[in-house]
């Protein structure tokens, strides 16, 4: 049997698909800055896009990379109708803008945000590995006791951690805009159960217009992970990607606010 030279990409490709997908999905976490949040009259507001000046996205927001080989989505702060928002443009690319959080999800489980997309991504399907793109998604990562996971999940996380040289999150919950899956559908990542997606918008309805949401993250986590209680919320990421389809996507994100 012909052996592949031992370098990082080959090691990653030799892992079970679940481990490689998990590592790729979580590789951005180590790049994020220290935890930060702005308490404001009973709510926790992660650093507000609306308070930023137009141009590059300011710290503590930082690029959330999938890995070093993926083309990055472009992000900047723009003025939209008199309000500063995060603008994302993907061109066969995949990355996000992320920040660590510093508040108690048990006390503030409700997440409110708004977003707008320019259009759907033709052929995208979050349930299919080779088509797993979305014009807009909110990605939340959680801490937890990995020793309590089933053996298969522990093995997947362990293999992925060795490849990327860093500890990986316990779980990830995403809110996504889907092409066809009905709102409310829970879509497992095609490779690993530790990444779950909840469809909050579907199809062409609302394209080009701001859409507002308020979700109880604690309840959604329980639903997505079979009744499991969420651990500490580690990061919040705005993520726009079109790398699997090789197409383009454009989205705008408003502020993220957590409340009791």
Locate the domains of the chain by residue range. Answer: 8-259
With cut-offs at 50, 70 and 90, classify the pLDDT of residue 162.
low
User: How far is residue 146's CA from residue 148's CA, in Å, rounded to a whole number?
Assistant: 5
Model confidence, pTM: 0.84
User: How large is the average pLDDT for residues 40-46?
Assistant: 67
User: How large is the average pLDDT for residues 77-94?
Assistant: 97
With cut-offs at 50, 70 and 90, classify the pLDDT of residue 157.
low
Query: What is the tens place of the pLDDT at every residue in 183-211?
Result: 999 999 887 788 899 999 999 999 999 99
pLDDT of residue 178: 98
Contact criterion met (CB below 8 Å) for 38 and 45: yes
Query: What is the tens place of the pLDDT at every residue in 225-239?
Result: 999 999 889 899 999
- Ranges 75-89, 159-173, 194-208, 213-227: which has the least confidence: 159-173
pLDDT of residue 22: 53
Task: Please list the alpha-helical segments (H only) found in the chain.
Answer: 8-14, 17-26, 151-164, 217-224
Q: Is 237 exposed, middle or buried (0-12, 13-18, 19+ CB in 10 A)?
A: buried
Contact criterion met (CB below 8 Å) for 154 and 147: yes
Q: In what order do the strands lie in the sheet with 233-241?
A: 62-65, 94-100, 233-241, 134-142, 171-178, 195-202, 186-188
User: How large is the average pLDDT for residues 45-55?
Assistant: 93
Query: What is the tens place of the pLDDT at every residue in 9-26?
Result: 333 333 445 555 555 555
Say how far residue 78 (Cα) sits from the centre of its chain: 21
| Mean pLDDT over the full length of the chain | 83
- Burial code (b: 16+ CB inside 10 Å, e: under 16) for 124-152 equals bbbeeeebbbbbbbbbbbbebebeebeee
Length in residues, the chain: 260
User: How large is the average pLDDT for residues 174-190?
Assistant: 95
pLDDT of residue 206: 96
Considering only residues 99 and 15, tell me which one the structure prediction assigns the higher pLDDT: 99
User: How far is residue 230's CA from residue 178's CA, in Å, rounded to a whole number?
Assistant: 24
pLDDT of residue 194: 84
In the numeric block, the tokens 């309805």 are attached to 205
CATH number belonging to the domain at 8-259, selected among 3.40.1160.10, 2.60.120.260, 1.10.150.20, 2.40.37.10? 2.60.120.260
Considering only residues 68 and 131, tell me which one the structure prediction assigns the higher pLDDT: 131
Instruction: Check pLDDT > 60 for residue 163.
Output: no
In the numeric block, the tokens 């990421």 are attached to 237
């Amino acid at each position: 049997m012909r052996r592949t030279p031992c370098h990082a990409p080959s090691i990653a490709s030799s892992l079970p698909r679940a481990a490689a997908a998990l590592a790729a999905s979580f590789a951005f976490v180590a790049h994020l800055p220290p935890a930060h949040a702005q308490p404001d009259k009973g709510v926790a507001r992660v650093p507000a896009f609306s308070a930023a000046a137009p141009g590059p996205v300011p710290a503590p927001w930082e690029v959330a990379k999938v890995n070093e080989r993926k083309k990055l989505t472009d992000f900047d702060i723009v003025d939209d109708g008199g309000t500063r928002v995060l603008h994302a443009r993907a061109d066969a690319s995949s990355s996000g803008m992320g920040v660590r959080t510093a508040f108690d999800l048990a006390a503030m489980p409700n997440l409110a945000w708004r977003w707008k997309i320019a259009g759907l991504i033709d052929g995208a399907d979050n349930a299919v590995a080779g088509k797993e793109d979305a014009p807009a998604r909110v990605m939340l990562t959680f801490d937890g006791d990995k020793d309590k996971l089933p053996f298969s999940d522990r093995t997947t996380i362990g293999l992925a951690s060795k490849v990327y040289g860093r500890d990986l999150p316990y779980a990830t919950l995403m809110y996504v805009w889907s092409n066809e899956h009905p709102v409310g559908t829970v879509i497992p990542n095609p490779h690993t159960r530790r990444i779950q997606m909840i469809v909050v918008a579907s199809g062409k309805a609302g394209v080009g217009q701001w859409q507002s949401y308020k979700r109880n993250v604690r309840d959604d986590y329980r639903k997505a992970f079979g009744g499991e209680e969420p651990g500490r919320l580690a990061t919040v990421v705005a993520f726009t990607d079109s790398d699997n389809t090789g197409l383009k996507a454009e989205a705008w994100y408003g502020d993220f606010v957590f409340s009791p």
